[in-house]
Structure 1
């Protein structure tokens, strides 16, 4: 039997008319979507502790080794833009099965890459193909939920997605210590195989034929033109992207900062990474509770300035040496933890009016997330790869996020106005609840 929403059939006519669905996804449904959404993060985090070893083994620089991380993000940015319209036309299951299957093949090729150039190229392809998992998971949520309900579900998914930073580095370090870093990619291929079997057996199709976009070829990508003309959508879509840039700046810089600069062992670093991942999980669960009492935009306009203030503490800790490695880890824990109060709320606000093209909208949001993160995170290595460089890049991202929220959205304006028209699940012209979609 396929997984289903407890107490709710997979086809619900009431939802097609824009009525607010009750929040009742079953635990199996959350676990399935969470595992899919976590695949790109697992692909990054399992490999993370091996970065210094890869640089040494392949005789390359720290910056080049870091680009095997950034290249994955850039590949994912392009992949999501391709997969989004594909999923709007052919449904959610097909692009998911194709993408994860090709992820398996590329992972095995990464395991035998002869040099850093080949590995970078394969990592770009790996990101391109496993982008299907993230796009489809978000599109499936928008197929079924809007507003605070969607924000709650996204926050609950963090319980599963959060296992990536909690467990993946430790597992990756264990695998690499026994069988060398190339075995990490074999493990990623096996994870992909398990996900293919789960999707094939249990994944329900949430986009019925009558709601699929019928146009193909170049016209399938015209929806991006519509999305890019929506100033509020673009602004809200950039906010999770800058949040991901904060995370990835930490991800690509922290192995060298904590192991080389502060002298932690690989095992100690994996523990620090897991603790910081736990901070993101905790804040995401706090957000799931908060959206029951406050609209997502109300949370955003408080969380973003707080994040900026916390980020400004990082260079102070580094320059003064306050608390040593524990002080830096604590500061990063606070900064990274705020991500759980920002990404889900900005995402559901951006998606609110685009239920009729949820795949394309989710793809553009995801592409901006990984694209911005992939473009920004290499700056950590360019500026020296040390703690101060990492802190400076993080501050820049937080400052830009605050400016975008203040200038390009109605977050801080009086009389923010009536709710914009929501397309809902059925397409244009369906009104969603005003308290759910008003910025």
Structure 2
């Protein structure tokens, strides 16, 4: 019976690797992965307005960003192993439906506390798109092929942070901040529909593993003990923490410290997102010419240089909206090189049968450290993030990412040097 089912419904692994099918896969997985970033970026220009509307301090509203990050971190630990046992489609569809409903629920929150709780639930549901999409890539690609696909994926994913704040800023001109969550819900509903209609199963039945707490703990323990996995995983997580500090705090800093409007902030954010997307495409062009360690090392050096420039601007009192924007664009060039290479290096070090769990652990580290450490920028005496607090957090996380790369980095199995 199962054999007949498998024949009647071919998996994505059996489909021809044509340019058209690969492009469709990039679009679908890109939308799934981008839904989470869109849920964080679209309402960034409205954060000060939300704080005023809900009569809450800015630091508490900033926790809505941390809540969705923590939810995505914890959700991936559950959903990743589930996708190894049940296949990739079911978690994607269920998670997408819940994410859509919570996005609509955010439109009616009565208080900041309820907002934080609902965003946490939304993060758990959104974890499906992030963790399962990476597992699908591991099902179908390996090594530099995976790094190349992740770079293409970043081109689609990058549209969300690039257009999110721009669209969010414009939405504030035509309606209240709740409109942003209506848009988020609509995009999520569309991605679920695409999965239902156009994304075949990529994990064959014979490669699936039953879910059990004991086997999950053994797999996680094995992954945590492998330098070839933890080196790139920590590099990714800590590098993402540096980038997410900018994402979560600069809306307040730009508008309160530099006097930018919501629309000006959204334009700045779009420019830095263009730098991020451009970097991922440069990375794709360098595959085959520069080793994965070489690409990661160059990306980390760029990240550190940009943050050092921010520190100099801040300490000398010469920071302006223009100069910090240039520095952030350079920083995003570094971040764009870290994410596809570190992700590919970590996940390609494992067999497809545990790709879901490996992807879950990568995502958990990324979002837990990214969301948790970025929130430190708001813990100042005034309760508001500043350019100084942002720079301190970004410098600490970027240095830690470099240490992880240098001390734990190994050439993962299946990844060319």
User: What is the CA-CA distance between 1:169 and the residue it aligns to?
Assistant: 1.1
Q: Secondary structure at the match of 2:108?
A: coil
User: What is the CA-CA distance between 1:110 and the residue it aligns to?
Assistant: 1.2
Q: Which residue of 1 aligns with 2:58?
A: 62
Please say if 1:106 is aligned against 2:99: no
User: What is the CA-CA distance between 1:374 and the residue it aligns to?
Assistant: 1.1
- Partners of 1:84 and 1:9 in 2: CA distance: 19
Q: Which residue of 2 aligns with 1:400?
A: 400
- Partners of 2:379 and 2:272 in 1: CA distance: 24
- Partners of 2:330 and 2:216 in 1: CA distance: 41
Q: Which residue of 2 aligns with 1:160?
A: 156
State whether residues 151 and 281 of structure 2, in contact with CA within 8 Å, keep that contact through their aligned partners in structure 1. yes
Residues 32-43 of structure 1: matches in 2 within 5 Å? 32-43=28-39
Q: Secondary structure at the match of 1:38?
A: helix
Of 369, 376, 381 in structure 1, the residue corresponding to residue 378 of structure 2 is 381
| CA offsets 1:47-77 (integer angstroms, 9 cap, x no match) | 1111101111111111101001111100100
- Partners of 1:305 and 1:24 in 2: CA distance: 36
- Partners of 1:343 and 1:366 in 2: CA distance: 11
- Partners of 2:360 and 2:103 in 1: CA distance: 23
- Partners of 2:48 and 2:169 in 1: CA distance: 12
Per the alignment, do residues 83 and 437 of structure 1 end up closer, same or farther by CA in structure 2, a change over 3 Å counting? farther
Q: Which residue of 2 aligns with 1:310?
A: 306
User: What is the CA-CA distance between 1:171 and the residue it aligns to?
Assistant: 1.7
| Deviates most, 398-407 or 89-98 | 398-407
| Deviates most, 343-352 or 114-123 | 343-352
Q: Which residue of 1 aligns with 2:363?
A: 366
State whether residues 72 and 124 of structure 1, in contact with CA within 8 Å, keep that contact through their aligned partners in structure 2. yes
Q: Which residue of 1 aligns with 2:254?
A: 258
Q: Which residue of 2 aligns with 1:415?
A: none
- Partners of 1:276 and 1:152 in 2: CA distance: 22
| CA offsets 1:242-298 (integer angstroms, 9 cap, x no match) | 121112100111111111110111111100000000000000000001112122122
Q: Secondary structure at the match of 1:342?
A: helix
| Deviates most, 353-362 or 169-178 | 169-178
Q: Which residue of 1 aligns with 2:25?
A: 29
State whether residues 257 and 386 of structure 2, in contact with CA within 8 Å, keep that contact through their aligned partners in structure 1. yes
State whether residues 13 and 139 of structure 2, in contact with CA within 8 Å, keep that contact through their aligned partners in structure 1. no
User: What is the CA-CA distance between 1:135 and the residue it aligns to?
Assistant: 0.8
Q: Give the unaligned 5+ runs of structure 2.
A: 1-9
State whether residues 22 and 149 of structure 1, in contact with CA within 8 Å, keep that contact through their aligned partners in structure 2. no
| CA offsets 1:131-179 (integer angstroms, 9 cap, x no match) | 1001111111110111111111111111111111211112222333323
Please say if 1:88 is aligned against 2:84: yes
Per the alignment, do residues 335 and 85 of structure 1 end up closer, same or farther by CA in structure 2, a change over 3 Å counting? same
Per the alignment, do residues 329 and 349 of structure 1 end up closer, same or farther by CA in structure 2, a change over 3 Å counting? same
Q: Which residue of 1 aligns with 2:132?
A: 136
Of 109, 123, 139 in structure 2, the residue corresponding to residue 127 of structure 1 is 123
- Partners of 2:182 and 2:13 in 1: CA distance: 38
**TM-score, normalised with respect to structure 1:** 0.88
Please say if 1:357 is aligned against 2:354: yes
**TM-score, normalised with respect to structure 2:** 0.92
| Larger helix percent | 2
- Partners of 1:58 and 1:323 in 2: CA distance: 32
| CA offsets 1:6-60 (integer angstroms, 9 cap, x no match) | xx994459x9xxxxx9999632221111111111100100111111011111111
Q: Which residue of 1 aligns with 2:290?
A: 294
| CA offsets 1:391-430 (integer angstroms, 9 cap, x no match) | 11111111111111112224xxxxxxxx66x4xxxxxxxx
Q: Secondary structure at the match of 1:368?
A: helix
State whether residues 23 and 149 of structure 1, in contact with CA within 8 Å, keep that contact through their aligned partners in structure 2. no
Please say if 1:174 is aligned against 2:174: no
Q: Secondary structure at the match of 2:333?
A: helix
User: What is the CA-CA distance between 1:184 and the residue it aligns to?
Assistant: 1.6
User: What is the CA-CA distance between 1:218 and the residue it aligns to?
Assistant: 4.7
Q: Give the unaligned 5+ runs of structure 1.
A: 1-7, 16-20, 411-418, 423-431
| Deviates most, 257-266 or 179-188 | 179-188
Q: Which residue of 2 aligns with 1:219?
A: 215
Q: How many residues align?
A: 404
- Partners of 2:207 and 2:19 in 1: CA distance: 22
RMSD: 2.1
